[in-house]
Structure 1
């Protein structure tokens, strides 16, 4: 009877041991399934990650392509703007060159105009003149009228010249031309045989300007007028005074010859 309990205990142990043996492959299979599932899950995650990365790369590539296209369009627009600027710059250079030419021409015209104005103004401004060795300041009108009267005399129009010189003396009584104007007026009157008037102008010259270059000739002309008027005594005295006052003059040499002929 004692043997049965022991067998019964041994059998229980054997059953437990057998159950453990039988249970081991089942747990191993269970473990292998879990690892496979984890591997599958990780693989799926990797695939998902890879797909997401590919999708992001595709998006980035697409955006990069769009950016490149946009950049190309921007570059084309910029190139067009640069070319337009080159054209505008060329136009501006042409306009600047034309403007420079216009300014140069304007400056030339202004210079010529200024010179012309100055020349015209000089015609109305007093200036220094030298007549018969005498230097003085004369108004343009004085110079013009005197030269015109002298030109008339030299053309042989003695009556017109006498009128012109007489008018000059009335208009410019204080002019530096007066001594010369009286000399030529006397000569014009002598040429028209107005001897008395001629003598009066020659004497006026000697009285107002005895040291004038024309004074010796004026004295000789007085003697000539006196001889034309048959005033021989007065002519002789005039010639003698001429020789005494202006001994070195050509008129004095001529006076000596005439005095010799009068004896």
Structure 2
């Protein structure tokens, strides 16, 4: 009997000791699972925050790229406007210089030809002091030039120069007429038409004082159309054939860009 009771008394603590580790392991497993769930939620939250930051960064980069494109476009347009303004000022200065160098007219009837002579010589491209003997030719050319330099009616100047070329195919003013048509159509981004007129000046009127700028404009048009090899060739031709000129400096700047 005593043996039985002793066995029972010893069995109770043994059973308690056997059950304790199972309970602790269960609690540890639950605690570990909770920690893992907490860590997983933290990782998901962090990944979500990183994704949001990446999206915001991508949007900012896109905005910066668009702003850079807009800035470059504005810089290019400003450069074109400044270049056009310089050309107009140079043209006006040449016209007045020629007028100032002309002898004073001896009679009122000579006033008209003297004015035409100055205007024509400034734009003739041949460097001569003679204006055309055809008064209607002088008038037609002067009207077309006035539409550009005085009235700023560039849309009307295009048909005026086209009509002049058609009406006076042998005129000494033809290189200038082609040059101004190229300039006007270049400003309208009608590059194919502009290129045709600039090429006419370059290839058919090698003594024209508009040839250097016509070569430069051919390079600019090629660059605008992503024909970089052609553009480089035109710019180098300007530098080689017209060194120490404004056109050569502009061509070098283009090559350096």
Query: TM-score, structure 2 length as denominator?
Result: 0.51
Structure 2 gaps of 5+ residues are 1-106
- Structure-2 residue corresponding to 1:62: none
1:119, distance to aligned residue in structure 2 (A): 5.5
In 2 relative to 1, CA 252–198 (structure 1 residues): closer, same or farther, beyond 3 Å? same
Whether 1:130 aligns to 2:121 is yes
Tell whether 2:243 aligns with 1:252.
Answer: no
- Matches of residues 34-45 of structure 1 in structure 2 within 5 Å? none
Q: Which SS does the other structure have where 1:148 is aligned?
A: helix
Contact 1:226–1:235 (Cα < 8 Å) also in 2: yes
Partner of 1:144: 139
Per-residue deviation at 1:182? 0.9
What's 1:190 paired with? Answer: 186
Question: Which has the larger Rg?
Answer: 1
CA distance in 2, matches of 1:223, 1:239: 6
- Give the Cα separation in 2 of the matches to 1:242 and 1:127: 30
How many angstroms does 1:248 deviate by?
A: 2.6
* Length-normalised TM-score, structure 1: 0.49
State the distance in 2 between where 1:141 and 1:233 align. 44
Measured in 2, the distance between the counterparts of 1:141 and 1:230 equals 43
Q: 2:205 aligns with which of 183, 204, 209?
A: 209
Q: Which of 212, 221, 226 is matched with 2:222 structurally?
A: 226
In the alignment, the residues of structure 2 paired with residue 242 and residue 219 of structure 1 have an alpha-carbon distance, to the nearest angstrom, of 6
Please state how far the C-alpha of 1:245 moved relative to its aligned partner.
Answer: 1.3
Q: Which residue of 2 aligns with 1:156?
A: 152
Query: Equivalent residue for 2:30?
Result: none
- Given that residues 131 and 138 in structure 2 are in contact (C-alpha distance below 8 angstroms), is that contact kept between their aligned partners in structure 1? no
Contact 1:159 1:192 in 2 (8 A): no
The CA deviation string for residues 139-178 of structure 1, in whole angstroms up to 9 with x for no partner, is 1111111111112123332222111111111111111111
Cα separation, 1, equivalents of 2:171 and 2:179: 14
Q: Distance in 1 between matches of 2:249 and 2:205?
A: 21
What 5-or-longer segments of structure 1 have no aligned partner?
Answer: 1-114
Residue deviations 1:177-231 (CA, integer Å, cap 9, x gap): 1111111110011111111111111110111221221111111111122222222
Verify: 1:175 aligned to 2:181, yes or no.
no
What do you get for the CA RMSD once the two structures are aligned? 2.3
Q: C-alpha distance in 1, partners of 2:155/2:131? A: 28
Question: Paired residues, what number?
Answer: 143
